C-alpha cells in the first residue's frame, strides 16, 4: 500500500490534489504538509528546506511516494529571487536525497510552461526546444527537471513531472503567478464586480482546468514505469485563450461584466511563454487527453463559484 506525503498541501494545487489522493488511496495513507495551519487531512507542519524535518516525517510514516508541490510562482519569484531559489530548489534536492536514501519509490515534481523562454516557437511549443527561461521561477524549474532526470539516470529514482500550464480552479486560489488573472476574473464576475487585468487583452497563454490538471497528475503517477519516456517533464495542454476571449465567454452569463486592462511587469513574463503547447509525448506515453475547453471550463467555474458564494452568503 502506498503511503503518500504531499508538500505544499495548502496551496492552489495541493488543496485539491490532497483531497483527490485521500479519496483514491484512503485518508490513512495520505500525509498533508505545509508551513502552517493544518488542513482536513493527517497533517504535519513541514518546512521542506529542513532536510532532517523531512526525513523524520518520511521515516515516521514509511512514506513511499512524495508529491512535492511546495514552490514560489513566477511573479513572486521575480520579487524574491534568492528565496525562490531556496524554496524551489533546496526543497526539491532535499526531497530527492531523502527519497534516494530512504526507499521512497516515486516522486512527483511540478514543472511549468515557465521553462520556455524567448527563443521558442510560441505556437504549439514542442516538448524539447532549447530551454532559456526568462524568470527566476523558470530557471528553477529547468534545473529541477534536469535534477529529476539525473536522479532517474544515476540512481533509478522514479521521478515524474508535468509542465503545468496556468491552472484554473474554483476550489482554491493561486498566489503570485502570471496566470492568476484567469482565476481572479471569475471571482469578480460572479460577485458583479468589474475586473482590472494585469495582462493585455490579446495575451494568449496555455491554461488547464483544475480537474484535468489533477487527473493528469494522478494518471502520470499511475502509468506503468516503462511508459515514462520523458524523464525531465511532460508538456501537457488543456486550452489556450487570451483575456478578451475569456471575458466574452464570461459575458454570456454576466452580460454587464466589464474588464479594463493595466498590464504590469507580468506582461513581459507572459510574452516569453508559449501560446499553445504540443503535448503529443504525453498523449502517446500515458494516454493524456484533456476533457475541458474554454466554454466548459467557464461554465463549471461559474456554477461552482456561484454555489460557493451563495452558500457562504459572503460576497466580495
Ligand atoms: C505561474 O503563473 O507562475 C504559474 C505557472 C504557469 O507555472 N501558474
Q: Whose CA is nearest to atom 1 of ligand 1?
A: 177
Best CA proximity match to 5, nearest among 130, 100, 14 = 14
pLDDT in the model for residue 37: 79
**CB burial of residue 15 (10 Å; 0-12, 13-18, 19+):** buried
CA distance 28 to 50: 25
Q: What grid cell was written down for 9?
A: 498541501
pLDDT, tens digit, 9 for 90 and up, residues 87-124: 999 999 999 999 999 999 999 999 999 999 998 999 99
Question: Catalytic residues, which ones?
Answer: 137
CA distance 33 to 18: 10
For a mutational test of ligand 1's pocket, the pick from 73, 145, 175, 264, i.e. the residue with the most ligand atoms closer than 8 A to its C-beta, is 73
- Residues listed for the chain: 316
CA distance 233 to 216: 13
Whole-number Å distance, alpha carbon 270 to ligand 1 midpoint, is 9
Whole-number Å distance, alpha carbon 84 to ligand 1 midpoint, is 14
Per-residue pLDDT of the chain (316 residues; tens, 9 = 90+): 899 999 999 999 999 999 999 999 999 999 999 999 777 899 999 999 999 999 999 999 999 999 999 999 999 999 999 999 999 999 999 999 999 999 999 999 999 999 999 989 999 999 998 999 999 999 999 999 999 999 999 999 999 999 999 999 999 998 899 999 999 999 999 999 999 999 999 999 999 999 999 999 999 999 999 999 999 999 999 999 999 999 999 999 999 999 999 999 999 999 999 999 999 999 999 999 999 999 999 999 999 999 999 988 776 6
CB atoms within 10 A of CB 62: 11
Ligand 1 atom with least separation from CA of 112: 7
Ligand 1 within 6 A of CB of 12: no
> In sequence order, what are the residues at sequence separation of 6 or more whose Cβ sits closer than 8 angstroms to the Cβ of residue 95?
7, 48, 54, 66, 68, 107
pLDDT in the model for residue 315: 65
Ligand 1 within 6 A of CB of 73: yes
Ligand 1 within 6 A of CB of 182: no
pLDDT in the model for residue 312: 82
- CATH code 3.90.25 region(s) in the chain: 169-205+239-277+293-312
Ligand 1 within 6 A of CB of 114: yes
> What's the CATH architecture for 4-167+208-235?
3-Layer(aba) Sandwich (3.40)
pLDDT in the model for residue 294: 98
Helices 91-101 + 136-155 axis angle, to 10: 10
Residue 44: C-alpha distances to residues 13, 37, 39, 70, 106 (Å): 18, 9, 10, 14, 20
Pair type for strands 239-241 and 205-209: antiparallel
CB atoms within 10 A of CB 295: 11
Best CA proximity match to 99, nearest among 225, 5, 8 = 5
> What's the CATH architecture for 169-205+239-277+293-312?
Alpha-Beta Complex (3.90)
pLDDT, tens digit, 9 for 90 and up, residues 182-216: 999 999 999 999 999 999 999 999 999 999 999 99
Ligand 1 within 6 A of CB of 288: no
- CATH code 3.40.50.720 region(s) in the chain: 4-167+208-235
Helix (H) or strand (E) holding 162: strand 158-164
> In sequence order, what are the residues at sequence separation of 6 or more whose Cβ sits closer than 8 angstroms to the Cβ of residue 180?
75, 166, 174
Residue 147, SS3 per DSSP: helix
Amino acid at each position: 500500500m502506498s503511503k503518500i506525503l504531499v508538500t505544499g498541501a495548502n496551496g492552489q494545487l495541493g488543496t485539491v490534489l490532497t483531497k483527490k489522493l485521500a479519496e483514491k488511496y484512503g485518508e490513512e495513507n495520505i500525509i498533508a504538509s505545509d508551513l502552517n495551519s493544518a488542513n482536513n487531512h493527517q497533517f504535519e507542519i513541514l518546512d521542506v528546506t529542513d532536510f532532517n524535518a523531512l526525513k523524520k516525517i518520511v521515516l515516521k510514516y514509511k512514506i513511499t511516494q512524495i508529491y512535492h508541490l511546495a514552490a514560489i510562482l513566477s511573479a513572486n519569484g521575480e520579487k524574491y529571487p534568492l528565496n525562490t531559489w531556496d524554496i524551489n530548489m533546496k526543497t526539491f534536492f532535499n526531497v530527492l536525497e531523502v527519497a534516494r536514501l530512504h526507499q521512497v519509490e516515486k516522486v512527483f515534481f511540478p514543472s511549468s510552461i515557465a521553462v520556455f523562454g524567448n527563443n521558442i516557437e510560441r505556437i504549439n511549443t514542442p516538448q524539447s526546444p532549447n530551454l532559456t527561461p526568462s524568470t527566476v521561477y523558470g530557471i528553477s524549474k529547468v534545473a529541477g527537471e534536469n535534477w529529476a532526470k539525473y536522479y532517474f539516470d544515476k540512481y533509478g529514482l522514479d521521478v515524474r513531472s508535468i509542465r503545468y500550464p496556468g491552472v484554473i480552479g474554483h476550489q482554491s486560489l493561486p498566489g503570485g503567478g502570471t496566470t492568476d488573472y484567469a482565476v481572479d476574473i471569475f471571482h469578480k464576475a460572479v460577485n458583479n464586480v468589474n475586473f482590472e487585468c494585469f495582462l493585455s487583452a490579446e495575451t494568449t497563454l496555455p491554461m488547464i482546468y483544475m480537474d484535468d490538471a489533477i487527473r493528469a497528475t494522478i494518471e502520470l503517477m499511475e502509468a506503468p514505469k516503462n511508459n515514462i519516456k520523458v524523464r525531465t517533464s511532460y508538456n501537457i495542454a488543456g486550452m489556450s485563450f487570451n483575456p478578451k476571449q475569456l471575458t466574452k465567454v464570461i459575458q454570456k452569463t454576466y452580460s454587464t461584466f466589464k474588464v479594463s486592462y493595466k498590464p504590469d511587469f507580468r506582461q513581459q513574463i507572459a510574452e516569453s511563454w508559449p501560446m499553445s503547447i504540443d503535448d503529443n509525448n504525453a498523449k502517446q506515453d500515458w494516454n493524456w487527453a484533456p476533457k475541458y475547453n474554454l466554454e466548459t471550463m467557464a461554465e463549471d467555474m461559474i456554477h461552482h463559484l456561484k454555489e460557493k458564494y451563495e452558500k457562504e452568503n459572503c460576497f466580495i
